[in-house]
A and B are shown apart, each in its own frame.
Chain A
Amino acid sequence: MLTDLLQYLVNGLIVGALIALPALGLTLIFSVLGFLNFSIAAQLTAGAYAGWLANTTLHLPLIAVLICSFVVAGAFGVVTDRIALAPIRRKPSAQTPLMVAIASIALNMALENACRFYFGSGLNSFDMPIERDMKIGAIRVGLQQLHNLEIAIGLAVLLALFFSLTRIGKAMRAVADNVDLARLKGIEPVRLANLATFIGMGLAGIGGALLAIDTSVDPSTGSRLILLIFAGSVVGGLTSLPGAVVGALSMGMIGELGLLVLSPVYQSLTAFVAILITLLARPGGIFSGATGVRR
């Protein structure tokens, strides 16, 4: 039983690591721009395709593949945001964040179908060897998945450093905290909005590529996981970067541990229940009040 519990925890951490990066992206964009950009699912897919093309046509290794995914998804994210979402944000009203969020769902569908139009509905595989798990005691751990976890944590640490040490990072936190005050201090919110979107969508792109290496690349790669990503971000408080990572990891673990008591068929229930409990018990997320982008 204890072995089962540990094994499921490890499995959950692995799933959590996959959704941690997109959850970070979603949180970052929400913190700086003040709305939920659901088109992040399409950028996951864009990152996955970019990585797959870089890997299968240019035969690049993992790190170069991930950089490609970051840049392509980030750039796509900024361009599509400028075209489809920024015009709505220009005339702010009480409903603007909701309207932009809904527009982003439409944008997500458009982008997903663009991928389908261009690449077809088929599934594609990365040209990377699949490795057998190693055994630590009675627990199985996948090497590839362990790398994913390292990459996710490494990037989260880098981001934290960026926000606390650099001028632009600090400026982003200022905009997140109070747009008007930041503008008075001479910070240009639009430029920062682009940068936040670029980094956020880029992270989603890396997440998409890692996910696709583990599964496969198809037009629905991102949208299959959007609920889990959203849940991770909400549980983490939507404005806290460490919260997003912890939220995503705990969503992964709760889901897998749920298998001990629930039939596997009802697994997505755990995501809904986690959102519900978090919003009821701690509306600001598990990290409310802790340091993140906001403070």
Chain B
Amino acid sequence: MSNMGRRDFLRTGLGLGGLVLSSSLSRSWAQSGDPIRIGLIIPLTGGTSQFGATMGQAAKIAETEINSAGGVRGRPIQIVIEDDQSNPEAAVRAAHKLIDVDKVVAIGGSYASAVTSAIAPLCWEGKTVLLTSSGADSITKLPHQGYIFRTSPTVTLQGTRVGDFAVELGGKKMFFLGPQTPFAQSYIDIISSIFKAAGGSGSGLIYEDKKASYRSEVDQALKESPDVIVLGGYVPDTSVVLKDLYRAGFSGQKVGFSFGINDALTKAVPAEASNGAYSLVPSASENSDAYKRLVGKMKLSHLDSYSCQVYDHVVLASLALAHAPSGKVDGTAVRDNVRAISQDSEGKRTDDAVEALKLAASGAHVNYDGPSGALEFADNGDVKGVFFRYEQVEEGKLVVRKIG
């Protein structure tokens, strides 16, 4: 130290300080780049809002996980949530804002089919990936240039399952009651044809939602003396239809879908009116660790499939960008790399988003399976291999009858 002059000491000190400073800076830079924005259009209000809140929470958990693992390409991701108000017009305004102002790389959520159909053209025109949890078959038939990925089973698949199940219950005459949606007529056609093939018959009626009473619609349905009524509505209208069916003394089977007959519905109608109604529920991957971890982080005992899907929307978009060989961060890079990280047969299978992110960032092959399922997509963007739960209302509570 004695032969080290004052200047040398200062120089060394400055150098060391600079080193420490630069390393700490580079670490914070890793997270301080402009955030990569991922949009969410979810129903927080309105008739389809039963899962909206948990969808948002699940997406936030995905955001936290990705960011605590260092983000994507050194940049944090940021979720921008917009409420579609269960209304396609509001959804279109939200999509414009997300694409043009926030410059998101992908839009997730997108639950009601009417909402998804309305915003889909904006997404592919804006070269933004649309990850949707809606069912209408028409959505992936659009000329979407590969920008649409659907994590929910299609209407045809759900309709077929409901039709088969109703025949299994011994139904001969089916009547469909549901509101005007992009899939209502398809349901009537699909389920009726299943009944005809089984030697029975089927017909249906499409009603207007937002009514205080469906007595006349129920009267029209009962005139056909059906032994199975398929309920194709969302919770607010299905709850009124169930009450009116009870009042009218209908004693046949009632079968519906998870967006109409669910926990929210059982709270909305007296048990007498809902008892015995069956519900077809697209099942999340409930035995997977991914599902258990997500449910644990949300401090819940059970989570619907749709919220799991929205979690996966965020993870899929992040992993795709982390993997993209081009290093670009835009919607096209997401589109081109989703399949590479979700269904690479040579990739390391993992259901942990953080592990998958590290693998993808290091350039390794990865095959991510999320809490919503195995996430393998057909060429048109539809998800493959979906499980369903068949539940029935018993004493005002939903009970699982079978899984298949």
Q: List 7 A-B contacts (CB under 8 A).
A: A12-B216, A216-B236, A219-B45, A220-B45, A224-B236, A259-B217, A264-B207
Number of chain A residues whose Cβ lies closer than 8 Å to a Cβ of chain B? 42
CB distance from A110 to the nearest CB of B (A): 13
Cβ-neighbour of B47 out of A12, A116, A214, A220 (below 8 A): A220
Contacts of B236 in A (CB 8 A): 123, 215-216, 218, 220, 224
- Nearest 8 CB-CB pairings of A with B: A123-B268, A216-B268, A264-B207, A11-B215, A121-B49, A224-B210, A267-B208, A130-B270
Question: What separation, in Å, do the CA atoms of A216 and B235 have in the docked complex?
Answer: 10
> Which residues of B194-225 are within 8 A (CB) of A?
205-208, 210-213, 215-217, 219-220
Closest to B206 in A: A265
Cβ-neighbour of B219 out of A11, A15, A132, A268 (below 8 A): A11
Q: Enumerate chain B interface residues (CB-CB to A < 8 A).
A: 44-47, 49-50, 52-53, 180, 205-208, 210-213, 215-217, 219-220, 235-236, 239-240, 243, 246-249, 264-265, 267-270, 272-273
Cβ-neighbour of B211 out of A8, A121, A128, A267 (below 8 A): A267
A122 at the interface (CB under 8 A from B): yes
Contacts of B268 in A (CB 8 A): 122-125, 216, 218
Do B243 and A224 touch (CB < 8 A)?
Answer: no
Closest to B214 in A: A264
A92 at the interface (CB under 8 A from B): no
Instruction: Give the most central of B211, B235, B265, B270: most A CB within 10 Å.
Output: B211
> Which residues of A197-236 are within 8 A (CB) of B?
211, 214-216, 218-220, 224-225
Closest to A223 in B: B210
Do A256 and B216 touch (CB < 8 A)?
Answer: yes
Do B243 and A121 touch (CB < 8 A)?
Answer: no
Do A266 and B208 touch (CB < 8 A)?
Answer: yes
A14 at the interface (CB under 8 A from B): yes
Question: What separation, in Å, do the CA atoms of A113 and B264 have in the docked complex?
Answer: 19
Do A133 and B49 touch (CB < 8 A)?
Answer: no
Contacts A123-B267, A129-B270, A220-B47 given; indicate if A14 touches B243 (C-beta within 8 A): no
> Which residues of A1-56 are within 8 A (CB) of B?
4, 7-8, 11-12, 14-15, 18-19
Do A215 and B180 touch (CB < 8 A)?
Answer: no
Do B211 and A142 touch (CB < 8 A)?
Answer: no
Do A142 and B212 touch (CB < 8 A)?
Answer: no
Contacts of B247 in A (CB 8 A): 130-133, 140, 142
Do A259 and B243 touch (CB < 8 A)?
Answer: no
A263 at the interface (CB under 8 A from B): yes
Cβ-neighbour of B216 out of A120, A125, A131, A259 (below 8 A): A259
Instruction: Give the most central of A4, A130, A267: most B CB within 10 Å.
Output: A130
Contacts A132-B247, A214-B212 given; indicate if A264 touches B217 (C-beta within 8 A): yes
Question: What separation, in Å, do the CA atoms of A176 and B216 have in the docked complex?
Answer: 39
Do B212 and A121 touch (CB < 8 A)?
Answer: no
Contacts of B211 in A (CB 8 A): 15, 224, 267
Contacts of B207 in A (CB 8 A): 264-265, 267
> Which residues of A129-188 are within 8 A (CB) of B?
129-133, 140, 142
Question: What separation, in Å, do the CA atoms of A37 and B206 have in the docked complex?
Answer: 33
Do A216 and B269 touch (CB < 8 A)?
Answer: yes
Contacts of B269 in A (CB 8 A): 125, 130, 216
Contacts A130-B247, A220-B47 given; indicate if A265 touches B180 (C-beta within 8 A): yes
Do B249 and A264 touch (CB < 8 A)?
Answer: no
Question: What separation, in Å, do the CA atoms of A12 and B212 have in the docked complex?
Answer: 11
Do B267 and A8 touch (CB < 8 A)?
Answer: no
